[in-house]
Structure 1
């Protein structure tokens, strides 16, 4: 089913929020279970992924080794599980919380461009979109 490792998580490293989450995941993950790909990198090509850059930026995307894609909160949940970060992703799977978390995630996606103004954890300048 889902857990065909490795999970490939796509992220936009130019955004501070994404960079912080990925830095956290990198501390725990191994390449055998989680591969992290920066869609902002110069060598990234979205065409083989079957998605446009705009689609990849619109919400979190991750793909299992069996080509099953998960998006949004499910991508965060499975990224945390693949990295083995403990219990922090568990609430993302709690059915009573899912409707509220889905609404909050949609709000986050709308606010995401504004979050580019936050300081980047690596101290690099973020790009204005």
Structure 2
């Protein structure tokens, strides 16, 4: 479906989400910059409107864009980001047609619960949210 002309894939992620940040940490360790780029949608430099989206839309599900301008989201963004990092075998079940409906349901449930998981420890070693206030630390982009 996608060939090497489509790389790099740019992954738009929520750096304030502890679970998301853990996944990004794994991907960063394995990904070559020529195949996978990272953009924290909570960084001060990010402008969702410049991409034709709202921040709320970008926060609702994971998004990724191939170099040729094709967008993928949700399970497909996860699958392709893991493939871009050379870890596609771990995400291969996301491409299994028989499992897709169940996995899509689980992903939608995760997206609804994700905002309520801010209390989990963040991989940068500190809590991001205290009470109703969250501190945003700008993560470096590869």
Q: Cα RMSD (Å) of the superposition?
A: 1.4
Aligned length: 129
Runs of 4+ more than 4 Å apart:
none
TM-score, normalised relative to structure 1: 0.94
Q: Which of the pair has more CA radius of gyration?
A: 2
1:85 equivalent to 2:87? Answer: yes
Once residues 8 and 49 of structure 2 are traced to their aligned partners in structure 1, the CA distance between those partners, rounded to angstroms, is: 20
Once residues 2 and 66 of structure 1 are traced to their aligned partners in structure 2, the CA distance between those partners, rounded to angstroms, is: 10
TM-score, normalised relative to structure 2: 0.86
Q: Is the 8 A contact 2:119 2:127 kept in 1?
A: no
Once residues 30 and 122 of structure 2 are traced to their aligned partners in structure 1, the CA distance between those partners, rounded to angstroms, is: 21
1:70 corresponds to: 72
- Could you say what secondary structure the match of 1:17 adopts? helix
Give structure 1 stretches of 5+ with no counterpart.
none
Q: 1:44-82 deviations in whole A, cap 9, x for unaligned?
A: 111221111101000010000111100000000000000
1:34 corresponds to: 36
